[in-house]
Amino acid sequence: MSNIRLRYAGLMAYGTRIMSIFTGLMFSIIVTRRLTEADFGIWQIIGLIIGYVLFPASISNYWVTRYLARGEKVAKTGLIMNLAIAPFAAIAYLLASIPIAQRIQSPLAYFLVAGIQVIFYYILQTLESIAQGVKPEVQSYGFFLFEVAKVALAVWLVIESRMGVIGAILAIALAQIAQILLEAFLIKNTITGKFDKKLAKSWLKIFWLPIFGSLSGILYSLDGLIVPTLVGSPIPVAYFRVPNIIGNVITYSGLLAIALYPKLLGGGGKRDVEASIRFVLMFGIPMSVGAFVLARPLLYLLNPTYADLLWILRVMIPASLIFSLSGIFGTVLVGTEKVELNLNSKFKDFMKSNLFIVPLITYVSSIFYILTLIILLYFPNIWGFDYITLTLLWAFLSFIVTLSSTIYGWILAKRVMDFKFPFINLSKYLFCSAIMAILLQLLKFNLEYIPTFSNYVVSVLALVGFGALVYAIMLSMIDKEFRQIALAIFSNIRGMLSKLK
């Protein structure tokens, strides 16, 4: 649609994620320092199981975004469909939790309390699919509120009330309620009209396509259940997920392209794609380099227990950046596809479309990943490895799979749209990041790993802030686009402040 603002929505998404790094870091510190390694691993497994029962939501959400981006009023139809499915998904989650809780010797109460989150996720995912089609920035507002709320609730439930895993689960659930209320309010004018039975039936007839796409991601995430099941301990999951907290921050750069999907659906072109790639690299490169240099200090900040996981994190860093780029290439393929606009399209037409090809790539890479991981775990010599070595091999396998699938996605996207990769811009980002890395490496030697937590937090955040400042100054001197973005951000902030007077 013409009112989709590519740069504004992208910067809002990235900006709120960057601001939420501090709230997310606070929450992660609260949880990782208050939970044992085993409890943290159990909490992560609960999140994985919840994710496995969310895929039916895509039956309507998938089409809601595509139809809304093209001007169709379908929001209420999608919302009602998911409200009907949610209770059945919650029951499926509870049934799946019982044997898993027994296998890892976890209290079943942890899993039962988390069941309410299934309902909340169904509502929230529908609201975000609606926002993605008309106002992508709404997702950013909701996410930021969620981050702030969950920290406040974690302080109360995890620290003050000492509720452990239950407290962490409730903090997330209550924060979700706040997020749902805000996003529903901001897009209330879009949720209009009546429930379209005919449209709902047409979506149900091709339910297999969005389900096929949703399950592709779930298949990849089975690693979080396979490893503890075969090893018999949740600790490797904790060793993998803790560095991934930092790795996920790098993937925030991919959110700069959040508006590309509805933009392409509404008629966008290769200039939008090229701009999105530049945005992702402009912020993703320095974040990756900075995290690589400061790997140990950042892990120590989460919990001194995890400080020795630095090479696991360093393997995850390039994988996170590559993953951000893969999202753009996938968006090009599905955003330019118009097979559903032809009312006479048949099963074979959808099978030949990019709506099927994109998740198929994920399936192939996921199957290779899971099978290789199982072989790795069963390899005779692997049992002599400690958990850190095992997790390092796990992370390296994930990197190889991510790199391979991204390269293939790039090749396919180039066939659909002849966009150019910004190699000149990439060289600028790498040069400025290299200067930043040298200075951070020199300053890092003076960092003291002291038990006084507050002083250590300030020291690490000062290093991060200094690195960001150096990169921004260097890039502003040689890159016109970055200067324009900085001026646009400054103008928006000044405009917001003037309205408050």
What does the pLDDT read at residue 1?
A: 43
Query: Is 360's pLDDT higher than 90?
Result: yes
What does the pLDDT read at residue 278?
A: 93
pLDDT tens-digit series, residues 241-299 = 889 989 988 998 888 888 888 888 887 788 999 999 998 999 999 999 999 999 999 99
- Contact between 474 and 435 (Cβ < 8 Å): yes
What does the pLDDT read at residue 477?
A: 94
| 474 burial via Cβ count (<10 Å: 0-12, 13-18, 19+) | buried
Q: Encode burial over 478-498: b for 16+ CB neighbours within 10 A, e otherwise.
A: ebeebeebeeeeeeeeeeeee
What does the pLDDT read at residue 283?
A: 92
Residue 335 makes CB contacts below 8 A (sequence gap 6+) with 260, 261, 263, 264, 265, 268
Average pLDDT over residues 141-155: 92
Query: Is 72's pLDDT higher than 90?
Result: no
What does the pLDDT read at residue 43?
A: 86
Query: Is 324's pLDDT higher than 90?
Result: yes
Query: Which of 20 and 347 is assigned the larger pLDDT?
Result: 347
pLDDT tens-digit series, residues 446-487 = 777 766 677 888 888 899 999 999 999 999 999 998 898 888
Quote the percentage of the chain above a pLDDT of 90: 50
What does the pLDDT read at residue 487?
A: 84
What does the pLDDT read at residue 222?
A: 84
Query: Is 2's pLDDT higher than 60?
Result: no
Of 189, 182, 82, 73, nearest in space to 138 by CA = 182
Average pLDDT over residues 358-387: 83
What does the pLDDT read at residue 321?
A: 95
pLDDT tens-digit series, residues 168-225 = 999 999 999 999 999 999 999 999 878 989 889 989 988 999 888 877 777 888 888 8
The overall average pLDDT reported for the chain is 88
What does the pLDDT read at residue 37?
A: 78
pLDDT tens-digit series, residues 78-116 = 999 999 999 999 999 999 999 988 888 888 889 999 999
pLDDT tens-digit series, residues 153-179 = 999 998 888 888 899 999 999 999 999
What does the pLDDT read at residue 497?
A: 57
- SS3 state at 338: coil
Residue 38's identity, in one-letter code, is A
Q: What confidence tier does 489 reach under pLDDT thresholds 50, 70, 90?
A: confident
